[in-house]
Amino acid sequence: MSSSSQKGAGRFAPSPTGPLHLGSLIAALGSYLLARNSGRRWLLRIDDLDRPRVVPGAAAEILRLLETLGFTWDEAPVYQSLRNKRYAEVLGQLRESGLIYPCSCSRKEVLASAPHAGEEGPVYPGTCREKPTTSRAQYAQRLKVTSNTISFHDGLQGDYRQNLQTEVGDFVLFRADGLFAYQVATVIDDLDAGIDQVVRGADLLTSTPRQIFLYRCLHESPPEYFHLPLLLDEAGEKISKRQGEAGCVTGENGSSMMCLALIFLGQPPPRELCGAPAVRLLEWAVANFEMAAVPRANLKLSGLQFSY
């Protein structure tokens, strides 16, 4: 299904729901360094599927800032919001294969009927597998889980196993509100772009088995996965856009934020480079990257600052 005949690629796929923050910079930097040091292309994708959450102008600002920091990408950025026709085409193939079905269950009904909650939330019990239980104007579309345990080796987190039937259940590929789900969009986008190396935060580790199962349904091979540890605040929460301006990357603090991201990834630059332009720091990192030094465990921001 991949349209690329070139060597594989890595990618960074930010959601334009706010400004670039330090946690996202770490993911961008990790994917960039692994791709460049393995001879891969590095691509950008804007994950703007969830239109109600998209902040106008955020995507353009993220791209501008990444360019200012020295990142270069090998193809024009892809926008998920422009690929609905492609997602619908793949859902049609899955439907013809009898692998997806319409579901009328609301979130409240799923919560009430689920036998128990898994790590990813309530486990869907298959209520609508035979046919929708109620009539609705718009149905969700669920993928039938026909495999038990999905196992894979993560390049940073090691071996990971998840029983899809008991921990997730049949999962949504198309939402009742008319939006395609993250799981299907990211798989199709990665396939079409020739992505064979996915580097992202460890908070997405538990969703990976669903994506691997979807690859199997499409008779395709999944990429290699590297789930980076998370940068945490003092309360132990992942640093993200929800914390407002704290941790945001700007043109003014780009150099110091790049230093922090490199330190977090186990690639501390020489002290004489502290304060150097971010572009120079990134060039140094590409030339001196050591995969073995990338940490496996989450770290608080205060510990990160203290350790340097």
Active site residues: 241
Q: Which among 12, 20, 17 has a CA at the least distance from the CA of 239?
A: 20
The single residue listed with the structure tokens 């332009």 is: 277
Please name the amino acid found at residue 118.
G
What's 50's DSSP letter? Answer: -
Q: Which among 236, 248, 241 has a CA at the least distance from the CA of 300?
A: 236
Q: What pairing do the DSSP bridges indicate for beta strands 9-12 and 78-79? A: unpaired
What's 45's DSSP letter? Answer: E
Compute φ and ψ for 125, nearest 5 degrees.
-85, 5
The single residue listed with the structure tokens 């986008």 is: 189
SS3 letters across 91-115: HHHHHHCCCEEEECCCHHHHHHHCC
